[in-house]
Amino acid sequence: MNKFVAKAASALCTLGLGVVLATAVNAAADRDAIIERIKPHGQICVQGDDTCGTPAAAAVAASSSAGRSGADIYNRSCAACHGSGILGAPKFGDGAMTARLNDHGMDGLMANAINGINAMPPKGTCNDCSDDEIQSTIQYMLDND
Ligand code: HEC
């Protein structure tokens, strides 16, 4: 009987340890998955720093000089609010932006998009967007309104 109790206790201990180890391993795997998920989309490589990828830096330079389309910028930076019209944002595709154009003119839309207005953040969070890119993004929204 005592032998049985001892065996049972040791089996329980082994099981317990296994659970603890499995939890620890899972936690480590979860942490790696989270780090992978929240890591920045891009990395900055300062010119002259040859420890980071020159080809990547060249690609960034090439892509920014080629310019991004209004659709690209809209999807990346504006759709989160304008897609559904949350916070009072003129909703994409339902004529709201055209109404704003009629009220404010393109200069007004540009000024409000660049400086921000109420819940609309400056440049709609596209901080590296040039004024031309903001304008082509607004134009894309108007064209599809
Ligand atoms: C965080 C949410 C949010 C994001 C992201 C956002 N907007 Fe807006 N936007 C708004 C809201 C809210 C308004 C309405 C502001 C008001 O008139 O009260 C608005 C209004 C505007 C207007 C109309 C301004 C006017 O004069 O009536 C333009 C143009 C505009 N946004 C462009 C953009 C562009 C371009 C982007 C992406 C580069 C963008 N927005 C991203 C929330 C957002």
Asked whether residue 20 is assigned to any structural domain, the reply reads yes
Number of folded domains that form the chain: 2
107-131: average pLDDT:
97
With respect to residue 100, please indicate whether it lies within any of the assigned structural domains: yes
60 within a domain of the structure (yes/no): no
Q: pLDDT per residue over 73-114, tens digit each?
A: 999 999 999 999 999 999 999 999 999 999 999 999 999 999
- In angstroms, the CA 93 to CA 55 distance is 39
CATH of the domain at 88: 1.10.760.10
pTM (two decimals)? 0.66
Q: Quick one: 33 and 85 in the same domain?
A: no
32 with 80, same domain: the answer is: no
Asked whether residue 26 falls in the same domain as residue 81, the answer is no
CA distance 96 to 120: 15
- Distance, CA of 134 to CA of 122 (rounded, Å): 11
Q: Phi and psi at residue 68, in whole multiples of 5°?
A: -105, 150
Statement to judge: residues 73 and 138 lie in one domain? yes
120 lines ligand 1 (CB under 6 A): yes
Please tell me if the CB atom of residue 98 comes closer than 6 angstroms to any atom of ligand 1.
Answer: no
Could you list the residue range(s) of the whole structural domain that residue 15 is in? 1-39
Give the integer Cα–Cα distance in Å for 113 and 141: 12
Q: Tell me the pLDDT tens digit for each residue of 45-59.
A: 777 776 666 555 445
Q: Nearest residue CA, atom 9 of ligand 1?
A: 120
Per-residue confidence (pLDDT) for residue 57, from 0 to 100: 47
Residue 62 within any structural domain of the chain: no
Q: Which two tokens stand for residue 84?
A: 């559904």
Counting atoms of ligand 1 from 1, which one is nearest the CA of 117?
15
Ligand 1 atom with minimal separation from the 118 CA: 18
Whole-angstrom distance, CA of residue 133 vs CA of residue 114: 11
From the CA of 43, how far away is ligand 1's center (Å)? 27
Residue 136 domain-assigned? yes
**Does any domain span residue 51?**
no
